[in-house]
Amino acid sequence: MITGYYCTNIFSEQAKELIAFYTQMLEIPFIKTDDDNSNGVYLGFMENAPTLCIWDCKKCGVEPTGRQSFVFQTETLDLTIKSLKKKGLSLSDAVRYDWGTYEVRLSDIDGNEIVIAEFV
């Protein structure tokens, strides 16, 4: 029986760079690592809550993960957009949706979609 959701694994050929993208550009906190700072790195916002776990697919001997879509939330999307643009990131235009979100989209260095939403 399933008792919880632990993490989403991302197997990347450029794990160090991907970890830097999430920790430095998006400021997702480092939680822990199973191996070292370039393999088995867990990123998230709370211990004992689901995380992103980035693995070096070459070290693990597996193929890169297919593209994913990750949704993050923010309290003030406009301020988040300004911060990300200052870091040189390319973003979509922000869109307000009828279902109650105000969103912007971008891609990480592996081509995964990043959605940042303010719930309005």
* pLDDT tens, position by position, 65-86: 999 999 999 999 999 999 999 9
pLDDT at 91: 97
Residue 120: Cβ-neighbour burial (10 angstroms; 0-12, 13-18, 19+) = exposed
Higher pLDDT, 36 or 26: 26
Average pLDDT, the chain: 94
Please list, in sequence order, all residues whose beta carbon lies within 8 angstroms of the beta carbon of residue 71, skipping any fewer than 6 positions away. 115, 116, 117
Question: β-strand 113-119 against 101-107: which pairing, if any?
Answer: antiparallel
pLDDT higher than threshold 90 for residue 48: no
pLDDT at 37: 87
* Domains annotated on the chain, with CATH: 1-64 (3.10.180.10), 67-119 (3.30.720.110)
Residues 66, 110: Cα–Cα separation, whole Å: 9
Percent of the chain topping pLDDT 70: 100
